[in-house]
Structure 1
């Protein structure tokens, strides 16, 4: 068992004896989402380290941090690959409802494609509060998870040949686009995502280089922490608390296990 394999299992609470297969990816994705938050604190600090196995292990496992899509899906990709799954990293562009179009930062969303016995699935643990928590079949079959309903739709766009569509639990009544992605141009190496990281860190219209954002998806809903508010969504509806900097640090530690200096 490799160091990454062993330590990633420990980080998410997965037994060292559990085989990693398509059939138990549900469990692995739920454990990953519950254990490793989507957060941008390193982006705000101007972190310019190249993405590679060593950096991801240091950041997510040794320093016990979370990260953005390229961090979270990057380390999950390495873990799945080391456990014998046929996986590829891909790029996509997130749809921004307020802009009625795709992100001005372009193809800056990283996700994973999984191939298994002639079937293909989209796997994503780096999409903030919108995680499917399940492999989503590329054949259009709708899946239902604790976070909502999801499907992959084959349709050409300037950003690829597929869309991820979703109806988030407690939030959406109709299907909406999550992001477009390209299955035809897989990312060859983790380091190839470094350009994506640079754009997210420096682009004037990046949503992640201005204010702190911490997100977690849980078995009964989701939660978002910013420097001014803490919002949670459960079956009882949305609950929002206005906060100050002291409370922000307390909540970051309590719900995300992150020490904010």
Structure 2
């Protein structure tokens, strides 16, 4: 077993002797979501590095930091690839449900497409608190998890040919668009995402270069930390604490190990 394999399993709490196949995907996705936070701290600190296999391993598995979609899904892609899964990376655009439109600064979301028994699935561990925690088939079949309901709609847009629809548990009463993605987009080299990292770090419309953000799913819901508030969802009940910089640093370490 490779050092990368061992480090990834240790980070998410997966047993060393556990053999992995398609039936284990749910377990992998849940453990990854609950152990590696979605966060933009390197962007905020202007301490980004090139997107390479070695740098991803160092950042997420050795230093035990979190990351954004292009880091989290790239790492999971490499792990699944090492275990013989038929996977490829794809780019998409996250929908802005406030303005009711797609942003125009680029296809900056990265997700994974996995093919099993001639059926293709969306696999995503880099979508903040909106994670399906399951492989979602491109056929449109509804998938339920502890985080809500998810399905994919075949729909041609200028950003791709499919759309992920989500209805989060305790949060959404109606379906909403998560993101559009291109199933024909074939990416196998994670270095292509250096372009995305540059856009995320530098573009004036990027939502991730304004303020620090850390979010992670938990067994009871999820928790989100910014430099001004700490929000927790526990079994459908939300609490929000207004915080200062000292409290922010305390909570980042206590709840996220950062």
**TM-score range relative to shorter protein:** over 0.9
1: distance between equivalents of 2:201 and 2:11? Answer: 26
1:114 Cα offset (Å): 0.4
Give a deviation string over 1:149-202, Cα, whole Å, max 9, x none.
001111100000000000001110000000000010121311011101110011
Secondary structure at the aligned position of 1:98 is classed as coil
For 2:56, the equivalent position in structure 1 comes to 56
> Secondary structure at the residue paired with 2:91?
strand
Distance 1:105 1:25 in 2: 32
Q: In 1, distance between residues paired with 2:50 and 2:206? A: 19
**Corresponding residue of 1:209:** 209
Deviation at 1:41, TM superposition (A): 0.2
CA shift at 1:232, angstroms?
Answer: 1.3
Shift of 1:236: 4.0
Give the 3-state SS of the residue equivalent to 2:141 in structure 1. Answer: coil
**Cα separation, 2, equivalents of 1:49 and 1:247:** 28
| Secondary structure in 1 matching 2:240 | strand
**Where does the alignment leave 5 or more consecutive residues of structure 2 unmatched?**
none
> 1:253, CA displacement in angstroms?
1.1
- TM-score under structure 2 normalisation? 0.98
The yes-or-no answer on 1:71 pairing with 2:71 is yes
In structure 2, the CA distance between the partners of 1:238 and 1:104, relative to structure 1 (3 Å rule), is: farther
User: Residue by residue, what CA displacement relative to the aligned partner does 1:200-240 show, whole Å, maximum 9, x if unpaired?
Assistant: 01100100011000000122211110001011123342211
> Which region of structure 1 is more displaced relative to structure 2, 45-54 or 60-69?
45-54
Per the alignment, residue 145 of structure 1 pairs with 145
In structure 2, what is the equivalent of residue 90 of structure 1? Answer: 90
- SS in structure 2 at match of 1:96: coil
Q: Aligned pair count?
A: 258
Alignment of 1:172-187 (within 5 A): 172-187=172-187
Paired residues of 1:170 and 1:234 also in contact (CA < 8 A): no
In the TM superposition, structure 1's runs of 4+ consecutive aligned residues that sit over 4 Å from their partners are: none
Q: Quick check: 1:29–1:125 contact (8 Å CA) kept in 2?
A: yes
Stretch moving more, 40-49 or 160-169: 40-49
RMSD: 1.0
The one-character-per-residue Cα deviations of 1:101-141 (angstroms, maximum 9, x if unpaired) are: 11233210000000111011100000011011111111101
Does the aligned pair in 1 maintain the 2:153–2:165 contact within 8 Å?
yes
Alpha-carbon distance, 1:47 to partner: 3.1
C-alpha distance in structure 1 between counterparts of 2:59 and 2:104, whole Å: 27
Residue pairs, 1:17-28, within 5 angstroms: 17-28=17-28
